[in-house]
């Protein structure tokens, strides 16, 4: 289990916020923003399952800058998307940043989302996010200037995401 992974624990999805290898703990956050501390090897002992790793497996769109940094809601047309199932923002304190979107949403170039930032005293600010041209539901490998050297590992081997996540097993049962 690594920081940024989504895990299935206690019947719901949790975002792994931080993994401390020295203390052998992981701080996880639920969709309703409750935090818990788990052993960092909980996925290996069977206490939880890694569902997916959005930074490695999901495409992202850039969030607009806003003085209110906590992202509260994401809307697609008139449908609210579910946090940790449809979208993930890894750092609530980062101004702007990446919004990771589940490839099952089948978003494409030109689609628009509305993001709502939350502040103190019920202050809310809505911003529009347009899906960029380079947005792809599958990770792509950009061509390099030169051919790889004989002893170096291939780019595909370096960029290969985890293949044993629950998300991938559910997506491709074979």
State the chain's mean pLDDT as an integer: 81
User: How confident is the model at residue 93, as a pLDDT?
Assistant: 77
pLDDT tens figures, 4-33: 999 999 899 999 999 998 999 999 999 999
Identify any residues that bridge with 112 across adjacent strands, giving them in sequence order: 130
pTM of the predicted model, to two decimals? 0.74
Q: What is the DSSP letter of 31?
A: T
Q: What is the DSSP letter of 168?
A: H
**Euclidean distance between CA atoms 167 and 174, whole angstroms:** 13
Write out the H or E segment, with its range, that includes residue 156: helix 155-159
User: How confident is the model at residue 71, as a pLDDT?
Assistant: 87
pLDDT tens figures, 105-154: 999 888 999 999 888 777 888 999 999 888 866 544 444 444 444 444 44
Q: How far is CA 87 from CA 24, 143, 152, 174, in A?
A: 28, 28, 35, 26
CB of 80 closer than 8 Å to CB of 111: no
CB of 48 closer than 8 Å to CB of 7: yes
CB of 102 closer than 8 Å to CB of 87: yes
């Amino acid at each position: 289990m690594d920081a940024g992974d989504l895990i299935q624990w206690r019947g719901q999805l949790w975002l792994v916020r931080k993994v401390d290898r020295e203390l052998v703990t992981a701080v996880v956050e639920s969709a309703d923003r409750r935090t818990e501390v788990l052993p960092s090897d909980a996925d290996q002992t069977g206490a939880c399952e890694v569902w997916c790793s959005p930074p490695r497996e999901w495409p992202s769109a850039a969030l607009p800058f806003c003085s209110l940094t906590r992202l509260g809601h994401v809307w697609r047309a008139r449908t609210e998307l579910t946090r940790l199932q449809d979208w993930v923002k890894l750092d609530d304190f980062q101004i702007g940043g990446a919004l990771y979107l589940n490839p099952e949403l089948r978003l494409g170039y030109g689609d628009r989302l509305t993001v709502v930032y939350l502040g103190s005293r019920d202050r809310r600010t809505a911003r529009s996010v347009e899906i960029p041209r380079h947005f792809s539901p599958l990770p792509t490998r950009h061509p390099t200037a030169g051919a790889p050297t004989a002893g170096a590992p291939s780019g595909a081997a370096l960029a290969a995401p985890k293949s044993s996540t629950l998300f991938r097993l559910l997506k491709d049962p074979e």
